[in-house]
Amino acid sequence: MYRLFIIIFISVFIQNCSLNKVIKRHGVQNLQKKSEKIILYKTNKNDVFEILGPPSTYSLGDIDTLIYIERATSSSKLSKLGGKKLLINNILVIELNERGIALKKDFFDKEDMKRIDFTKKTTQKDYSNKDFVYDFLSNIRKKINDPLGKKRSLKKSNAD
pLDDT score, position 43 = 92
The answer to the question of residue 132 being in a domain is no
The answer to the question of residue 133 being in a domain is no
State how far the Cα of 104 lies from the Cα of 94, in Å rounded to an integer.
6
Instruction: Name the residue range of residue 38's domain.
Output: 21-118
Helix (H, G, I), strand (E, B) or coil at 44: strand
* Strand 64-75, strand 57-58: pairing: antiparallel
Domain count, the chain: 1
State how far the Cα of 54 lies from the Cα of 59, in Å rounded to an integer.
13
The answer to the question of residue 52 being in a domain is yes
pLDDT score, position 27 = 87
Residues 6+ apart with CB under 8 A from 7: none
The answer to the question of residue 44 being in a domain is yes
The answer to the question of residue 85 being in a domain is yes
Q: Please tell me the total number of residues recorded for the chain in this structure.
A: 160
The answer to the question of residue 46 being in a domain is yes
* Strand 84-96, strand 64-75: pairing: antiparallel
pLDDT score, position 46 = 92
pLDDT score, position 16 = 60
- Which residues of the chain register pLDDT less than 50? none
The answer to the question of residue 158 being in a domain is no
Residues 6+ apart with CB under 8 A from 71: 25, 26, 27, 86, 88, 89, 90
